[in-house]
Amino acid sequence: MNASGEEALSIFKKWEEEKSPVRLIFKALSAGGIFTGRVFRATPAEVVMVSLDDDPTSGLVSVSFILPHSFSFIDPRDGGKDRELLESEMAFGVVVLFASGERCTWYELPSA
């Protein structure tokens, strides 16, 4: 489902305020990776994540929204036959597609 920047920012801000555990999966032209942490700061210009123990030396990721991009939401309830598997892995997510071809997917981890 397509989303505006304001709608996406409201999700990032919610995760920041609630200190929700969030996973980031990123794919660039020559690199990719996965980082699990929490949103430390969310602004219209960037999202910064830190590790779950709040120690920036354990991990810190910053994603800039300066380049052209689009937002969409992902919801495990839309997973059809894979719905149960998706719901066990994620609560709700935001995808950012950059004009350069890079992709970042954030999703809140389900509460235990």
- DSSP letters spanning 28-78: -SS-EEEEEEEEEEE-SSEEEEE-TT--GGG-EEEEE--S-EEEEEE-GGG
Cα–Cα distance measured from residue 106 to residue 96, given in angstroms and rounded to the nearest whole number: 9
pLDDT per position in the chain (112 positions), as tens?
788 889 999 999 999 999 999 999 999 888 899 999 999 999 999 999 999 887 777 888 999 988 878 998 886 665 555 545 455 566 788 989 998 889 998 989 887 5
pLDDT of residue 87: 56
Q: Indicate the pTM of the whole model.
A: 0.84
Domains of the chain: 2-108 (2.30.29)
* 97 vs 89: CA distance, rounded Å: 22
Residue with tokens 């990032």: 12
Residue 76 has a pLDDT of 60
